Amino acid sequence: MTTEDDTFRLRATADFVRRHDAATLLPLLLPDLDDAALRTLTRHLGFAHAALLVFPPDARALRAELAACGLAADTPSGPSTVVRRRLAERHHRAAEALDVTILRPAAHGPDGTARTVEVFALTVPPGSDLQALADHERAHQHEAHIAFEVADPEPLLLRGLCTLLAEHGAGPDGGGHNPHEDVTVLYFTAPAAARAGYRRLELCAPGEHRAVLTAHLAATEATAATATTATTAARPAVTARPPAETLLHLLTGAWTTQALAACARLRLPEALSTAEAVPTDALARRTGTHSRALATLLRYLAMLGVVAPEGDGHRLTAVGDLLREDAPGSMRPLALLYGGPFYRSFGELDHTLRTGEAAFDHLFGENHFDHFARDPELADLFDRSMAASARMFDPVPDHPVLTAAARSPAGATVVDVAGGNGELLARVLTAHPRLRGVLLERPHAVEAARRTMARAGCADRCGYRAGDFADVPGGGDVYLLSRVLHDWDDDRCREILRHCARAMPAHADLLVLERLLPADGSPSLATAWDLHMMCNVGGREREAGHYAALFADAGLALVDRTPLPLGAALLRARRPTAAPGTGASGERAGQQGGGGLRTAG
């Protein structure tokens, strides 16, 4: 194969870029993508470029190839650290010996949208010992990919997009940060049934997103570790560390949790700035810490991507900014909770594994609901921690059940069962001004929900009921159960669902928001939360089929499910037929005492 082959592939790539957009490409890449997932992805992703790797003998030949394909020959170029590293690892070469550049000549989509053809160029002079490498890469097209740019590269959103892609068959396949362009790239492998002509896709996120990248590379390693020998031979894992190094990274996870929790407790983010660096000595004075000890912590936080070193100080990154108490979508409550009582209970994980009992109960002498309810500060922290994961709520107001209810001429009522501080219900009511709401929660949580509704401007359209699951109000049109069922064992879930079913009129829908365990055992956030739920509350995450069986036991039927960010899903259930003595009366199925209504997740 020769440079003529490169010119042919370059022309085909340019034509591909000019012909497609995200809405046409994503179904080709992920054939089992449903309409709701497609809407979510196209809302956050824009088709940015298609990429290929070519092997010109020199810069002049590369310019001639570009011109022959109708692309600007004078496009600026720069080094490509990610592809250079991948080539070096794949072919056992020294990275510094590979002269890989990247160019992005402009192209335009069918609607005139500006995008690019991303050209990676490895110079291969005549007679070079790189010729075998070039032949291999032309044959296997390892670096050919389709790229989507993330419109708002916020860490929670990035994680959610990665999870959504994985749920529809895209496997993590490495990535990296290009410091020359300050962009983070996350590679995926499309499923075998992909019809786009490309097997690799890339999420391109401006900025350095070190924590998300680290998690993505870990998922790549986990995928590679479980791959068959044949798959590994066909697509070598390029990011795997030696086993001992991998294990050390895993063993130090507790250090990361406590470093982040200490950062939040000391209010380092509030004392730092995203605009300019703060000298370490000045930061120590502001936070009342020991300067040398603080410098050690800052060095570790810089490795995590929470702060960035500049001169003799540090500035706050976008990741670290989420630990500010006043930041939109602040995750400070989660840092304090996971680095506090839940961290302590994980130290008793052995007890759970030996007995099946929640380690939290063993450590604190009571379940976490009662323990938090007796401590106003912990109760407030818990409610704020629930709101910290509210990114998964973003697509919920657009669910067809809610949009249809909002169009009802007579108006409709949404009942949020165990609605926490009202974050989800407030979003639904804000999106649909004709809807009314009712929120059921513990007394102290009801007060928090009142404040949330007032801030959202929905106070006059929401009613409140303080009580337990047996107090589910009747007469609603849509019922919500958000992150509730994973708190409980199957028997308790059946009781909760029966309370809902008895309260629901025949026409009502139940929308259940939970993380779903993947049926194929692939890596997911739900797998981590399954361990958390077992250790801290005695609950569990479940597969979709498991929830369908619980619904059936309560006289409900699973109708469909919609993927959500952060590994979550929205399950829709209905009563198949109206049963005598049920409906708007809200008949109870036995009082169930004690405990709260939900847990962190």
Residues annotated as catalytic are 486
How far is Cα 62 from Cα 81, in angstroms, rounded to an integer?
Answer: 19
Q: What is the DSSP letter of 579?
A: P
CB atoms within 10 A of CB 588: 15
Longest dimension (CA), the chain: 86
CB atoms within 10 A of CB 407: 9
How far is Cα 336 from Cα 341, in angstroms, rounded to an integer?
Answer: 8
Query: Mind giving me the DSSP string for 366-428?
Result: S-HHHHHHT-HHHHHHHHHHHHHTGGGGTTGGG-HHHHHHHT-TT-EEEEEET-TTSHHHHHH
Q: What is the DSSP letter of 324?
A: S
CB atoms within 10 A of CB 505: 15
How far is Cα 387 from Cα 539, in angstroms, rounded to an integer?
Answer: 20
How far is Cα 186 from Cα 203, in angstroms, rounded to an integer?
Answer: 5
Residues whose CB is less than 8 angstroms from the CB of residue 297 and which lie 6 or more positions away in sequence, other chains included: 259, 262, 263
How far is Cα 339 from Cα 352, in angstroms, rounded to an integer?
Answer: 19
**CB contact burial 220-256 (16+ within 10 A = b; e otherwise):** bbebbeeeeeeeeeebebbbbeeeeeeeeeeeeeeeb
User: Does residue 54 sit in helix, strand or coil?
Assistant: strand
Query: Mind giving me the DSSP string for 527-575?
Result: HHHHHHHHHHTS---B-HHHHHHHHHHTT-EEEEEEE-STTEEEEEEE-
- Contact predicate 245/221, CB 8 Å: no
Q: Is 520 exposed, middle or buried (0-12, 13-18, 19+ CB in 10 A)?
A: exposed
How far is Cα 79 from Cα 98, in angstroms, rounded to an integer?
Answer: 10
Q: If you compute the radius of gyration of the chain from its CA atoms, what whole number of angstroms results?
A: 26
CA atoms within 13 A on the CB side of 259: 21
Q: Is 398 exposed, middle or buried (0-12, 13-18, 19+ CB in 10 A)?
A: middle
Q: Is 323 exposed, middle or buried (0-12, 13-18, 19+ CB in 10 A)?
A: buried
**At how many degrees (to 10) do helices 490-503 and 544-553 cross?**
60
User: What are the beta bridge partners of residue 561?
Assistant: 571
User: Does residue 322 sit in helix, strand or coil?
Assistant: coil
CB atoms within 10 A of CB 43: 13
Question: What is the 3-state secondary structure of 272-306?
Answer: CCCCCCEEHHHHHHHHCCCHHHHHHHHHHHHHHCC
The pair of structure tokens assigned to 201 is 């896709």
